[in-house]
């Protein structure tokens, strides 16, 4: 075992602070990774603050990990020392259930092992994420990262990227479709970039008029201010697909009225009870309200390869590990453009 530096929260109300964690020795199928960068996802905050139910403390968050391979187990075939790699939200799954066999490890019937907060089946306790110097992961859950991309801007693809890519693909969004992305944060900005790259007519649906210029630069064809009755009327019954990234409880009904007959709104943000939905709004036009969680490993690799080919990366604001508490406050205030990424050098040198 190796003891390394990390950042974590000791309780739901505590700030994040430096602490030590243990990483297992490299097993036969393991890849040891020196972490260069880690993205900051709103899920890190929900988890550490026990907003999604009681968390196991200390919480060491981080599931948008980019790093270099420093060692490999003797049975590893996909990676070698020096490779640029990524790790997302999962580090293991049963590999035997129907979901795993279909490459949908995130829906593992026996419960996937998430990068942080899951039972650690190797050294006991629970798993610790990427707000740390390094990590040891089974090669099945390690992704190849295209070297041509700007490495600092790649980390968010591992969660914000795949979480928006997967529903766009699953619901067969295609060229010319009118796609609405609700909420311009980490997930939303990747949703715009992907829908734009897929040739869709993209509408950014936001409460924040100040983000309109950015939305256009990210690839949005139009901006709909959700608090404007006039804008909502103008776009009623017009969308082929909606991707809803709102992170908290909210009223779905106004968004349902934007959908055409037979279309889908995929929820990827809130995972709590929502305000009551008016069933008449979906019954009367055969509309679908659906959900989606991250994406499988194969699909994540496809997304990264697509990004390599089309030069798609995130818009990031780099921070030092020591500034994480301020960064979290800004994420909660929807004041991030559009993903914070931690430069792990700051932790290594601390």
Site of interaction with ligand NAP (CB under 6 A)? 41-43, 46, 159-160, 163, 183-188, 206-208, 211, 245-248, 250, 268-270, 293-294, 331, 334, 336
Q: Identify which of residues 136 and 215 has a Cβ nearer to ligand NAP in the complex.
A: 215
Residue 85: which of Zn ion, ligand NAP, none does it interact with, CB under 5 to 8 A by kind?
none
Q: Is 239 in contact with 178 (CB distance < 8 Å)? A: yes
Q: Is 50 in contact with 12 (CB distance < 8 Å)? A: yes
Q: Identify which of residues 47 and 301 has a Cβ nearer to ligand NAP in the complex.
A: 47
Rounded Cα distance, 84 and 34, in Å: 10
Q: Identify which of residues 248 and 350 has a Cβ nearer to ligand NAP in the complex.
A: 248
In the complex, minimum distance from the CB of residue 29 to Zn ion, in angstroms, rounded to a whole number: 25
In the complex, minimum distance from the CB of residue 266 to ligand NAP, in angstroms, rounded to a whole number: 9
Residue 183: which of Zn ion, ligand NAP, none does it interact with, CB under 5 to 8 A by kind?
ligand NAP
Rounded Cα distance, 299 and 342, in Å: 25
In the complex, minimum distance from the CB of residue 3 to ligand NAP, in angstroms, rounded to a whole number: 29
Q: How far is CA 185 from the centre of its chain?
A: 11
Contacts with 62 (C-beta within 8 Å, 6 or more apart), sequence order: 38, 39, 40, 44, 115, 116, 129, 130, 131, 132, 342
Q: Identify which of residues 23 and 46 has a Cβ nearer to ligand NAP in the complex.
A: 46
Q: Identify which of residues 157 and 252 has a Cβ nearer to Zn ion in the complex.
A: 157
Q: At what angle do helices 297-310 and 160-170 cross, to 10 degrees?
A: 100
Read off the tokens for 193. Answer: 């970039």
Nearest residue to ligand NAP by CB is 185
In the complex, minimum distance from the CB of residue 270 to ligand NAP, in angstroms, rounded to a whole number: 6
Nearest residue to Zn ion by CB is 41
What are the distances in angstroms from CA 25 to CA 114, 130, 243? 19, 17, 41
Q: Identify which of residues 136 and 331 has a Cβ nearer to Zn ion in the complex.
A: 331
Q: Identify which of residues 159 and 259 has a Cβ nearer to Zn ion in the complex.
A: 159
Q: Left, alpha or beta for 139 (phi > 0: left; psi -120 to 50: alpha)?
A: alpha
In the complex, minimum distance from the CB of residue 57 to Zn ion, in angstroms, rounded to a whole number: 19
Q: Is 288 in contact with 263 (CB distance < 8 Å)? A: yes
Q: How many CA atoms lie within 13 A of 64 on its CB side?
A: 33
Rounded Cα distance, 73 and 80, in Å: 10
In the complex, minimum distance from the CB of residue 79 to ligand NAP, in angstroms, rounded to a whole number: 25
Check whether the bond before 58 is cis (ω within 30° of 0): yes
Q: Identify which of residues 44 and 177 has a Cβ nearer to Zn ion in the complex.
A: 44
Which residues contact Zn ion (rule: CB under 5 A)?
41, 43, 159
Residue 246: which of ligand NAP, Zn ion, none does it interact with, CB under 5 to 8 A by kind?
ligand NAP
In the complex, minimum distance from the CB of residue 70 to ligand NAP, in angstroms, rounded to a whole number: 28
Q: Is 224 in contact with 203 (CB distance < 8 Å)? A: yes
What are the distances in angstroms from CA 155 to CA 146, 183, 305? 12, 20, 14
In the complex, minimum distance from the CB of residue 223 to ligand NAP, in angstroms, rounded to a whole number: 10
């Amino acid at each position: 075992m190796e003891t390394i530096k990390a950042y974590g929260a000791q309780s739901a109300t505590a700030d994040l602070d430096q602490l030590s964690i243990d990483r297992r020795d490299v097993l036969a199928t393991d890849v040891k990774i020196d972490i260069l960068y880690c993205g900051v996802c709103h899920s890190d905050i929900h988890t550490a603050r026990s907003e999604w139910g009681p968390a196991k403390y200390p919480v060491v968050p981080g599931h948008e990990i980019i790093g270099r391979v420093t060692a490999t187990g003797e049975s590893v075939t996909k990676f070698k020392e020096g490779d640029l790699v990524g790790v997302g939200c999962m580090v293991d799954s049963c590999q035997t259930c129907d979901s795993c066999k279909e490459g949908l490890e995130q829906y593992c019937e026996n419960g996937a092992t998430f990068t942080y907060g899951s039972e650690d089946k190797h050294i006991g306790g629970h798993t610790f994420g990427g707000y740390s110097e390094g990590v040891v992961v089974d090669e099945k859950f390690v992704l190849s990262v295209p070297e041509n991309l700007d490495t600092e801007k790649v980390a968010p693809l591992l969660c914000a990227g795949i979480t928006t890519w997967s529903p766009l693909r699953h619901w067969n969004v295609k060229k010319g479709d009118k796609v609405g992305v609700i909420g311009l944060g980490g997930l939303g900005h990747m949703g715009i970039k992907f829908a734009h790259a897929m040739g869709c007519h993209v509408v950014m649906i936001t409460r924040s008029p100040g983000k309109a210029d950015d939305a256009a630069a990210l690839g949005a064809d139009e901006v709909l201010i959700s608090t404007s009755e006039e804008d909502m009327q103008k776009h009623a019954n017009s969308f082929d697909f909606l991707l809803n990234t709102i992170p908290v409880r909210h009223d779905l009904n106004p968004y349902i009225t934007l959908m055409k007959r037979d279309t889908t709104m995929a929820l990827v943000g809130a995972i709590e009870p929502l305000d009551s939905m008016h069933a008449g709004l979906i019954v009367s036009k055969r509309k679908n309200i659906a959900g989606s969680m991250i994406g499988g490993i194969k699909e994540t690799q496809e997304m990264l390869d697509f990004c390599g080919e089309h030069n798609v990366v995130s818009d990031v604001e780099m921070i030092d590990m020591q500034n994480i508490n301020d960064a979290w406050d800004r994420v909660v205030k929807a004041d991030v453009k559009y993903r914070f990424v931690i430069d792990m050098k700051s932790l290594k040198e601390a």
